[in-house]
Chain A
Amino acid sequence: MNAIFEGIGASVRRKEDLRFLSGRGHYTDDMNRPGQTHCVLKRSDRPHAIITSIDTSAARAAPGVVAVFTHADLDADGVGGVPCGWQIHSKDGSPMVEPGHPVLATGRVRHVGDPVVAVIAETRQQARNAAELLVIDYQDLPAVAHIADAIAPGAALVQEAAAGNTCFDWHIGDKDLVDAAFARATHRVKLDLTNNRLVPNAMEPRAAIGDYDAMSGDYTLITTSQNPHVIRLLMGAFVLHIPEHRLRVLAPDVGGGFGSKIYHYAEEAIVTWAAGKLKRPVKWTADRSEAFMSDAHGRDHASTAEMALDAEGNFLALRVATVANLGAYLSTFAPAVPTYLSATLLAGVYKTPAIYAEVRAIFTNTVPVDAYRGAGRPESTFLLERLLDTIAHDTGIDRIELRRRNFIPTDAFPYQTPVALQYDSGDYVSTLNAALKAADWDGFAARRAEAKARGKLRGIGVSTYVEACGIAPSKLVGALGARAALYEVAQIRVHPTGSVTVFTGTHSHGQGHETTFAQLVASQLGVPFENVDIVHGDTNKIPFGMGTYGSRSLAVGGTAMVKAMDKIIAKGKKIAAHLLEASVDDIEFANGNFTVAGTDRAKSFGEIALTAYVPHNYPIEDIEPGLEETAFYDPANFTFPGGCHVCEVEVDPETGVTTVVNFTAVDDVGRVINPMIVEGQIQGGVAQGIGQALLENAVYDEQGQLVSGSFMDYTMPRADNLPNISVGTETTLCTHNALGVKGCGEVGAIGSPPAVINAVVDALKDYGVRHVNMPATSQKLWQIIQDSSAQPAVANLSSN
């Protein structure tokens, strides 16, 4: 019964929503420890300056102040810098420039928001009051915020060790092959484009509480993290030198992450270290302004893309050069984003035979940039799918036909791309066909004419994409520079009466794991859904884990659960064989029953569990009592979700305002456990993609001040900016994990931005528009229309 209604494939309502929707979630800032103090950070208001002096005397004397700490206090205790988890090597083989990332600014500040002084007081109000009494003298230095300024000759250096502000200059692919293909090509189409910088803006701002037990010497960190074990590893081993058994990291309910809560942040180290120093708990909670200037930002790439084609429009070679802005310091996974998480996807869904990509990563006086929903794949997808439409524009080949002509054929899997990845499965024709049908692509001309009669410019755009997630094979990422492994861990504890607790190293911060994983385990073990509980976010309870990002939780974490359940079932078969006096090879397990094959002799899962814990009649010589198993699963490959997004917009030519009127997503995310949750994940991703395409932009001025530093100026997408988003799935199974699952967390944000911009460009095609960079704001489109009206339409074409 339960297997039918609550098992794999059922849209079970999310059990975590009872507490989330009734305001009873338990977030870090909801927690308070006895004797707790409060930390407020004094942050730099300068983009780039030498700290000439810090006078803390007045702050120390202020009411309620417990302590005031600067980098000197941290240095005295040997506190290390915030580490980077991925090392990239440049073309010449040299390692990336890896400057220190001090927990509190040391000698210099390098971006607005760089933490300088930690003030700890009895109340938050007192800490804020005292922080205003700090006197910090700065000697301002020239700052660079934008890519063009940072790479200009003679630009101010953000990091002294990084000449030309270059962190690394990396490449992938076969340059000679690409050059040769370009030399013989019939068409060469080139496009310059940017991928706009975004502020993640999770609903819950970051927070952290450090605690120390002087009796045991144990430290506890409660933090807003997507991966508590990673934080324990990074902070314990590299920053504070606390061994794992003395450091517990808890990540309770977390209100959204989108990547921004993967990284180890300075604040976590400050409160943990200070708790040990003061022998009192220390709490820090970011306000929204702090979040804007201290959460790792996303994207910020500038690229040139060129495709070589033969006379029939077949792709011969792709050449890409990208400059990636990594901000002032290296965030945890920053170097991987523009390289192995982006350039390796440049084949996309196409059989382009030769690809060469160069990525120069640079430092600027801005907040560090790291993975944000999609992490590199949105950047490469936007580049490719904009380039596709630009090729169609320049060559006159229909954009759908161009895609079909160059698709990796459905019978070509596994498919080895020229940029390292091997796609295991996919069917790009079926997702394209389904999306075009659902979006009524063929009926668009009539809708365009109807809109024109109303004075509106209607456009339609498509994107066909593939992404790589379910990260990742440890050996492979290790070879590519990862300083961590990327397997996942599950521990399944079957209790004596047959209920089940699952301990997972993944972390749910909105994804609905408590429901999806319970469905998975309930259906596999044949126990009721409500008898399965999912535990995550506590390093003292869970053996180990790498956390949740890169759409990996089900593909890697779920597969670890399957492996652990396989062990449970194998042991259960031995117990059943003993009880049923049969050979273990004759025991079958299905629907919660262990049965002797071909007979009606059976033992239920609950009976077996009870026997395991009350082993009166038990093969004690062969197996131990108890029914609890742990599995580590290291994936054999990435997973490759893909699909097709179709967007339809109307532009008001008088105001430049774009309205998204239809959005259709047909995605292949592999096997679906809970269709409702998958639809929600895709809708949320598409909302963020539409936000990036039309609205969101982190704007720094020339001096390095963050102009869009609050919701007064940073345009978050809201319900009235979004259409109803139609979501469909077309499934091919992943071939290398037990469930055939691929992942759905990021596809929405990956596939949608180019569909939106392709639609905007299509809407403006009568104005001779060839490309529009994101975000396509009303002002930008109005200006394009104005400029076009003033000049012949062709003058607006960017030159090749």
Chain B
Amino acid sequence: MYDFAYEKPTALAAAVASLAGDMDAKALAGGQTFIPVLKQRLNKPTTVVDLAALGLVGITVTADSVTIGAMTTHGEVALSAAVQKAIPALANLASMIGDWQVRHRGTIGGSLANNDPSACYPSAVLALGATIVTDRRSIAADDYFQGMFTTALEQGEIITKVIFPIPQKAAYQKFRNPASRYAMVGVFVAKTAAGVRVAVTGAAQGGVFRHAAFEAALSANFSPDAIAGIATSADDLNSDIHASAEYRAHLIGVMAKRAVAGT
């Protein structure tokens, strides 16, 4: 990696100030993407602002929501008895991210701020209609994801927590990229009082997206058979050595069916 200055502020305002005042300063959450990027010299920040001392950790469950601090690790979410009870699909999703080492460092806030198109968390946030709370505002999931590695966050804006409404039912099915183990196709299905939401990660060039046809069919009839005949267009899906766009389109259907069956 290139040389950079390192800060570890203890107050949120100080962290925001450090990041806002320097376009080339970067926030460090769990570092499970950012540190490898630095080691490969693919990024040259002036200052790395470590968010670990801001107290943004912890899980709070109420009757209708699960709130997760931005610096809470995937491992903590996966192993949380409260999350396992309130939204088991969310704990299950967290348990499928990376390996133990990654899960004990990687954080929900880091994942969402990065918005890797193959990350798992964006599908849960979008399907559950979660709210992303930052140092300055609350952002609805539908407004947050704006394309590959692109979000509604402003320069220097820091996610503090994520609030997940508790659904009636939900499930996540992940088809791993055989090499990287990222989601080659990940489908999160949530049944809520307001209807069914289906979010797909890993598959599309623009990152996570909602599957309108599946949502309509499942809102009418929440069963695997309801979407069995619905083909997903391969347009705008990723194609690489592991999976063509057509294969990904097919897997979206299979993963969605299995998710519904698994709720």
B179 touches A715 (CB 8 A): yes
Chain B residues within 8 Å of A289, by CB: 40
Chain A residues within 8 Å of B251, by CB: 655
Chain A residues within 8 Å of B179, by CB: 708, 711-716
The answer to whether the Cβ of B226 comes within 8 Å of any Cβ in the partner chain is: no
A713 touches B241 (CB 8 A): yes
B180 touches A655 (CB 8 A): no
The answer to whether the Cβ of A778 comes within 8 Å of any Cβ in the partner chain is: yes
Cα–Cα, bound, A575→B180 (Å): 65
The answer to whether the Cβ of A654 comes within 8 Å of any Cβ in the partner chain is: yes
The answer to whether the Cβ of A334 comes within 8 Å of any Cβ in the partner chain is: no
A711 to B, closest residue via Cβ: B179
Chain A residues within 8 Å of B247, by CB: 779, 782-783
A782 touches B178 (CB 8 A): no
| Docked complex: B209-263 residues within 8 A CB-CB of A | 240-244, 247, 250-251, 254
Cα–Cα, bound, A777→B176 (Å): 13
A650 → B minimal CB distance (Å) = 16
Chain A residues within 8 Å of B34, by CB: none
B175 touches A779 (CB 8 A): no
Cα–Cα, bound, A289→B36 (Å): 12
Identify B242's interface contact among A655, A711, A777, CB under 8 A.
Answer: A777
Chain B residues within 8 Å of A708, by CB: 179, 241
Cα–Cα, bound, A655→B180 (Å): 18
A778 touches B250 (CB 8 A): no
The answer to whether the Cβ of A755 comes within 8 Å of any Cβ in the partner chain is: no
Binary CB contact string for chain A from 692 to 713 against chain B (1 if under 8 A, 0 otherwise)? 0001010100000001100111
B2 to A, closest residue via Cβ: A129
B244 → A minimal CB distance (Å) = 7
B260 → A minimal CB distance (Å) = 14
Binary CB contact string for chain A from 637 to 662 against chain B (1 if under 8 A, 0 otherwise)? 00000000000000000110000000
A654 to B, closest residue via Cβ: B254
Cα–Cα, bound, A783→B249 (Å): 13
Binary CB contact string for chain A from 765 to 787 against chain B (1 if under 8 A, 0 otherwise)? 00000000000011100110010
A779 touches B244 (CB 8 A): yes
Secondary structure dominating the interface of B: loop
B178 touches A778 (CB 8 A): yes
Name the residue in A708, A715, A779 with the highest tally of chain B Cβ atoms < 10 Å from its Cβ: A779
| Docked complex: A124-140 residues within 8 A CB-CB of B | 125, 128-129
Cα–Cα, bound, A786→B2 (Å): 48
A715 touches B178 (CB 8 A): yes
B178 touches A695 (CB 8 A): yes
Binary CB contact string for chain B from 31 to 66 against chain A (1 if under 8 A, 0 otherwise)? 000000000110000000000000000000000000
Chain A residues within 8 Å of B254, by CB: 654-655
Cα–Cα, bound, A654→B175 (Å): 12
Chain B residues within 8 Å of A713, by CB: 179-180, 240-242
A699 to B, closest residue via Cβ: B241
A716 to B, closest residue via Cβ: B179
| Docked complex: B173-225 residues within 8 A CB-CB of A | 175, 178-180
With A655-B175, A655-B251, A782-B250 given, is the CB distance from A711 to B180 under 8 Å?
A: yes
Cα–Cα, bound, A425→B98 (Å): 48
Cα–Cα, bound, A269→B159 (Å): 52
Cα–Cα, bound, A504→B11 (Å): 62
Cα–Cα, bound, A655→B250 (Å): 8
A779 touches B242 (CB 8 A): yes
B1 to A, closest residue via Cβ: A125
Interface size class of B (residues with CB under 8 A): 10 to 19
Cα–Cα, bound, A149→B22 (Å): 50
A132 to B, closest residue via Cβ: B41
Binary CB contact string for chain B from 69 to 93 against chain A (1 if under 8 A, 0 otherwise)? 0000000000000000000000000
B175 touches A777 (CB 8 A): no
Cα–Cα, bound, A714→B179 (Å): 6
Name the residue in B243, B247, B251 with the highest tally of chain A Cβ atoms < 10 Å from its Cβ: B247
B3 → A minimal CB distance (Å) = 8
B180 touches A777 (CB 8 A): no
B163 → A minimal CB distance (Å) = 32
A241 → B minimal CB distance (Å) = 37
Cα–Cα, bound, A129→B41 (Å): 10
With A654-B254, A655-B175 given, is the CB distance from A779 to B180 under 8 Å?
A: no
| Docked complex: A592-624 residues within 8 A CB-CB of B | none
A777 touches B250 (CB 8 A): no
B232 → A minimal CB distance (Å) = 14
Cα–Cα, bound, A407→B251 (Å): 44
Binary CB contact string for chain A from 293 to 321 against chain B (1 if under 8 A, 0 otherwise)? 00000000000000000000000000000
Cα–Cα, bound, A539→B238 (Å): 53
Chain B residues within 8 Å of A697, by CB: 241
| Docked complex: A664-701 residues within 8 A CB-CB of B | 695, 697, 699
| Docked complex: A748-800 residues within 8 A CB-CB of B | 777-779, 782-783, 786
Cα–Cα, bound, A715→B242 (Å): 10
A329 → B minimal CB distance (Å) = 26
Cα–Cα, bound, A129→B242 (Å): 34
A712 touches B178 (CB 8 A): no
Chain B residues within 8 Å of A786, by CB: 250
Cα–Cα, bound, A40→B233 (Å): 47
Cα–Cα, bound, A162→B175 (Å): 46
B182 to A, closest residue via Cβ: A712
B173 → A minimal CB distance (Å) = 11
A191 → B minimal CB distance (Å) = 25
B251 to A, closest residue via Cβ: A655
Chain B residues within 8 Å of A707, by CB: 241
Name the residue in A125, A289, A697, A782 with the highest tally of chain B Cβ atoms < 10 Å from its Cβ: A782
A131 → B minimal CB distance (Å) = 11
B247 to A, closest residue via Cβ: A779
Chain B residues within 8 Å of A714, by CB: 179
A783 to B, closest residue via Cβ: B247
Chain B residues within 8 Å of A695, by CB: 178
A557 → B minimal CB distance (Å) = 37
Binary CB contact string for chain A from 704 to 745 against chain B (1 if under 8 A, 0 otherwise)? 000110011111100000000000000000000000000000
A717 to B, closest residue via Cβ: B178
A697 to B, closest residue via Cβ: B241
Cα–Cα, bound, A194→B228 (Å): 37
Cα–Cα, bound, A294→B170 (Å): 47
Name the residue in B179, B242, B251, B254 with the highest tally of chain A Cβ atoms < 10 Å from its Cβ: B179
Cα–Cα, bound, A695→B240 (Å): 15
Cα–Cα, bound, A699→B242 (Å): 11
Cα–Cα, bound, A699→B240 (Å): 11
Chain A residues within 8 Å of B244, by CB: 779
B178 to A, closest residue via Cβ: A715
B39 to A, closest residue via Cβ: A287
B1 → A minimal CB distance (Å) = 8
Cα–Cα, bound, A289→B41 (Å): 13
Cα–Cα, bound, A655→B247 (Å): 9
| Docked complex: A275-303 residues within 8 A CB-CB of B | 289
B217 → A minimal CB distance (Å) = 19
Chain B residues within 8 Å of A125, by CB: 3
Chain B residues within 8 Å of A699, by CB: 241
Identify A712's interface contact among B3, B41, B175, B180, CB under 8 A.
Answer: B180
A161 → B minimal CB distance (Å) = 33
Cα–Cα, bound, A782→B240 (Å): 15
Cα–Cα, bound, A783→B175 (Å): 17
A701 to B, closest residue via Cβ: B241
Identify A779's interface contact among B2, B40, B41, B243, CB under 8 A.
Answer: B243
Cα–Cα, bound, A697→B179 (Å): 10
Chain B residues within 8 Å of A129, by CB: 2
Binding site for B on A (CB under 8 A): 125, 128-129, 289, 654-655, 695, 697, 699, 707-708, 711-716, 777-779, 782-783, 786
Q: A129-B2, A782-B250, A783-B247 are in contact. List 6 more A-B contacts (CB 8 A).
A: A289-B40, A655-B251, A712-B180, A714-B179, A777-B242, A779-B247
Which 3 A/B pairs are nearest by Cβ-Cβ distance?
Answer: A715-B179, A712-B180, A715-B178
12 contacts between A and B (CB under 8 A): A129-B2, A289-B40, A655-B251, A697-B241, A707-B241, A708-B241, A711-B179, A713-B179, A715-B179, A716-B179, A779-B244, A779-B247
